[in-house]
Chains A and B, each alone.
Chain A
Amino acid sequence: GDSVTQMEGPVTLSEEAFLTINCTYTATGYPSLFWYVQYPGEGLQLLLKATKADDKGSNKGFEATYRKETTSFHLEKGSVQVSDSAVYFCALTRSDSNYQLIWGAGTKLIIKP
């Protein structure tokens, strides 16, 4: 079945460091791919999405490119801030349904000043 695999956390970085959080997926067909962020004590917010191969989603300095050849959707940011500390979830839509999400386990990001 469809699945999403994220790099294990926590990921700890210093402020202004470059961030990569890896996400790979297994799916039949052509899923849409998402990154959601959950700040401490809050619900989930959609960070960015991509709907087809080679699409790049971007928001708040974060980017991720839909790579069909490597079945990946890695999240990147050039210079992280303390306020980026959160848990990041990669997700895809099920191939047999365009609305149910398959979730990765989440990656906790800690940014130190």
Chain B
Amino acid sequence: SAVISQKPSRDICQRGTSLTIQCQVDSQVTMMFWYRQQPGQSLTLIATANQGSEATYESGFVIDKFPISRPNLTFSTLTVSNLSPEDSSIYLCSVRTSGGLGDTQYFGPGTRLTVL
């Protein structure tokens, strides 16, 4: 398994500003993912972030709005730019590991963002 922490756990931001979310893993992992969970909804994949390469974004998500950094194998950041109330969601990072359970994804505790 993997232990994942995120900062901040929650934030309230003003429209037009940006928020950067940090994700730290306790072991080296190749693949990290960023998800959005809108209120009462399931998860939507924003992008896949592999160390040493550009993040791969899913349909409907663009780098200008959601820039991602992946400087090493244990850390990533997601920035949500030019915030609007529609960006109010929980943002989760996850990692893929291979081990006793085979390929499995583990999740961080999430960052709850409220945009006013």
Contact = CB atoms under 8 A, between A and B. Distances in A.
B64 to A, nearest CB: 23
Interface string A79-94: 0000000000100010
A105 B103 contact: no
A51 B99 CA distance: 13
Dominant SS among interface residues on chain B: strand
B109 A43 contact: yes
Contacts of A32: 102-103
A101 interface: yes
Interface of B: 1, 6, 31, 33, 41-43, 45, 48, 92, 94, 96, 101-110
A41 B17 CA distance: 25
B102 A51 contact: yes
A51 B103 CA distance: 9
Contacts of B102: 32, 49, 51
The range of chain A's interface size is 20 to 34
B48 A43 contact: no
Contacts of A105: 41-42
A17 interface: no
A36 B94 CA distance: 13
Contacts of B33: 100
A45 interface: yes
18 contacts: A32-B102, A42-B110, A43-B110, A44-B43, A44-B94, A46-B101, A46-B104, A46-B105, A46-B106, A46-B107, A51-B102, A99-B31, A99-B96, A99-B105, A101-B43, A101-B105, A103-B43, A104-B42
B92 A43 contact: yes
A43 B105 contact: no
Nearest to A100: B45
Nearest to A51: B102
B103 A44 contact: no
Contacts of B109: 42-43
A98 interface: yes
Given A43-B92, A44-B92, A99-B96, A93 B103 contact: yes
A100 B48 contact: yes
A43 B107 contact: yes
